[in-house]
Amino acid sequence: SQTIHQWPATLVQPVGSPLSLECTVEGTSNPNLYWYRQAAGRGLQLLFYSVGIGQISSEVPQNLSASRPQDRQFILSSKKLLLSDSGFYLCAWSVLTSRGYTFGSGTRLTVV
């Protein structure tokens, strides 16, 4: 069966420090991968999506970047965190998007 792993679960980082969040998927090949951010426990904002290795599309201009070094690995990064980068970050995957996404359990990032 397919599973998605996202870590760490929580992270507290100082302003100006780098960030690396990792997401891996098991049990499927060639998934579409997504990074979302959720602020204040409400709406989901799509940050990046990827349809293949090395293929990254950015939805909104921001202080973050994404990479997909392997088929089932998706990484969210920042060189220097801002206070406004705090939030709940969710990774998701799909093979057939019309069947919906499967989300990871999320990373709660607090920038202090």
Binding site for another protein (CB under 8 A): 6, 32, 34, 41-44, 46, 49, 51, 57, 90, 92, 94, 97-106, 108
Least Å distance, CB 111 to another protein, is: 18
Q: Which residues of 69-91 are buried (b: 16+ CB within 10 A; e: fewer)?
A: eeebebbbebeebeeebbbbbbb
Closer to another protein at the Cβ: 11 or 46?
A: 46
Query: Phi and psi for 98 in degrees, rounded to 5?
Result: -65, -15
d(CA 104, CA 33): 11
Closer to another protein at the Cβ: 57 or 77?
A: 57
Closer to another protein at the Cβ: 9 or 15?
A: 9
